[in-house]
Structure 1
Amino acid sequence: MDIGQVPTMKAAIDQFLQFLTVERNAADLTVKSYREDLVALDEYLGQAYQRPADPAEITPLDLRGYVSAMHEAGYAKTSISRRLASLRTFFKFAQREGIAQNNPAKPLRNPRPDRKLPHFLSGDEIGQLLDAPPAGQTMGLRDRAILEVTYSAGLRVSEVVGMNSGDLDLTESIVRIRGKGRKERLAPLGSFAIAALRRWLKVRVLSPKEKQGPLAPVFTNKFGRRLTTRSVARMLEKYLKTTGLDLRTTPHTLRHSFATHLLDRGADIRSVQELLGHKSLVTTQIYTHVSTAGLKAVYERAHPRARVS
């Protein structure tokens, strides 16, 4: 198609939306989202050019200005990334149809997403949670062992429910963990976790359908079958409600708390990386930010000249 046949963004947008509807059979909500994203760009360019925009004239510099305008307007980085994805798809279509000579959105990178600091529990809150399961009940012994082991070794919930009897060495206080990508590591267990495990294993009953011996699941449900990650999440939610602790807490929060508490007490970050089974140190470094935030909070509370009163 000759570029002059589609002189404005509005006409190009209408053609693109028709393509989505007719040829791609896109959902109404998808078409609506594309329309909103593209109309917003058209309005921005109309103000910048002081005339209707021609898709063939739009440059990466124009789109960088548009991205800057979105940042200044307070758009979330996820919203900006979504709009850029819409523009890439639109200009790819425009280039194929001869409406534009190239794709000016292609060189643009999505804004780097903010890394949210992980939620964690204080030492006192961890103690309160670990003491919550009733010691006089079989399931209470199991629940306490799960919570103690998860926090003691900083495990993922999938690693906890995947533990087998043969993975435990209670004499040496270690457990073999199969992490992501089937990568194995040895994790140390503290004395509280070992004691809780011993109490639970004395009363654990296995279903005849479960594998026995070294492959027997460490943690089972009331029917003697291997516990699921969802069951652990429900169990934790129950104790959060009884203790009044933050309901945002998940099984993974215990892993976050483990790492944060180690670093707060002077542990080397490389050692924490190894204990967590992180492939990259970058993943572990998020916990240094948590520790720094905690130190700053303490400083601001305690130092007489930390802030203006």
Structure 2
Amino acid sequence: MLDLRQICRGVAPLWFDFIRDWDRTLRARNYPETTRYSYLLAAAQLDRYLLDNAARLNAEDASADPTEVQRGHVEEFQAWMVATRSASTALTKHKGLQQFYRWLTEEEDLVRSPLERVRQSKTEQKLIPILGDADTAKILATCKGKQFTDLRDEAIIRVLFNTGARLAEVTGLTVGDVDLDLDSLLFHGKGAKERRVRFGPKTGRALSRYLRARVGRRGFGGQALWLPARGVVPLSSNGVKIMLRRRGRRAGVADVHAHRWRHNFAHEWKLAGGDTGDLMLVLGWSSDDMPRRYGASAAAERAQLTHARLQIGERI
């Protein structure tokens, strides 16, 4: 569960009131927790930036009241994000603030959004490297113990590797979403779209072992699938991110995150000659653009293998 007060730490009282009410709307519209966190954080960070730079930006009113924010304030914030973080981070904040100010206009607290004429930051489309068999084997080797966290972490990693599911979909699984008779998982994807995806024997074994270890632990009676090492609050997406980084460091594998397995899944599917339409169904995509983007970092490998198979110029 998101800690709204922690996200909004240091913001002005009126900003907090607006952000809290906006979060109620996001929850009512069934936005995933990861999306809500990203949106709410963008609004809170804008106010903290305005508070820190109120005099320089002539933003005293805006730092106290989000309806007083002007286009220039947002552009200054965006430029600061590019300089101190990255263009992609600035783009994420822009999208979150677009939604915040769209909601403020819906609520009739504003007539026009200050982001109406603010352009998004240009970003380079970086190729995300896949996380293949060799590195995944090293990471799984760190989960060979019998401790609860070893069994849990192996099950999470195998689900990510075997299904290519999104991080939020895996962390959002409930006990009822696991079907050990049909060897499948029910994922709750973006836009409240559900899909059932099969898993293989090794993933099934890891899930079965974890479910047995889960029995009797604190929080065991709840529906959330992934329980913490201590306490009763289910493992969040951020908790899984931290776990994956920790496992990656122990395995000597850099930059371990869930999305790399999603790219790997798309690459392996294409490498095996799988149908693009089927891939879209399995990974929960609705845009034809997604199959081109995912696994792009390994496209050269696929092209070389196809070249070798076709033997162009070598048949005579």
Retained in 2: the 8 A contact 1:269–1:285?
Answer: no
- Which structure would you say has the larger Rg? 1
Q: How far apart in 1 are the matches of 2:268 and 2:296?
A: 12
2:225 to 218, 232, 248: 218
- Does residue 201 (structure 1) correspond to residue 216 (structure 2)? The answer is no
2:19 matched residue in structure 1? none
1:22 CA displacement: 5.8
Task: Describe the shift of the 1:265–1:203 C-alpha distance in structure 2 as closer, same or farther (beyond 3 A).
Answer: same
Percent of pairs identical after alignment? Answer: 25
TM-score (ref. length: structure 1) = 0.58
- Does residue 127 (structure 1) correspond to residue 134 (structure 2)? The answer is no
Q: How far apart in 2 are the matches of 1:164 and 1:255?
A: 21
- Name the SS for the 2:235 alignment partner: coil
Retained in 2: the 8 A contact 1:206–1:220?
Answer: no
1:233 to 241, 244, 252: 241
Q: Within 5 Å, which residues of 2 pair with 1:70-85?
A: none
1:153 matched residue in structure 2? 163
Corresponding residue pairs, total: 216
Runs of 5+ consecutive residues of structure 1 not aligned to the other structure: 1-19, 38-77, 83-105, 302-309
Q: Within 5 Å, which residues of 2 pair with 1:98-117?
A: 113-117=123-127
Retained in 2: the 8 A contact 1:233–1:251?
Answer: yes
Retained in 2: the 8 A contact 1:155–1:276?
Answer: yes
- Does residue 273 (structure 1) correspond to residue 280 (structure 2)? The answer is yes
Runs of 5+ consecutive residues of structure 2 not aligned to the other structure: 1-55, 64-71, 80-86, 92-115, 309-316
- Does residue 137 (structure 1) correspond to residue 147 (structure 2)? The answer is yes
Retained in 1: the 8 A contact 2:220–2:227?
Answer: no
Q: Which amino acid aligns with 1:203?
A: A
1:21 CA displacement: 5.7
Q: How far apart in 1 are the matches of 2:152 and 2:195?
A: 24
1:242 to 236, 239, 250: 250
Task: Describe the shift of the 1:137–1:286 C-alpha distance in structure 2 as closer, same or farther (beyond 3 A).
Answer: same
1:184 to 194, 207, 214: 194
2:263 matched residue in structure 1? 256
Deviations 1:123-178 (A, max 9, x none): 22222222321232221011101100111111112111211111111111111111
Deviations 1:185-206 (A, max 9, x none): 1111111110000111111146
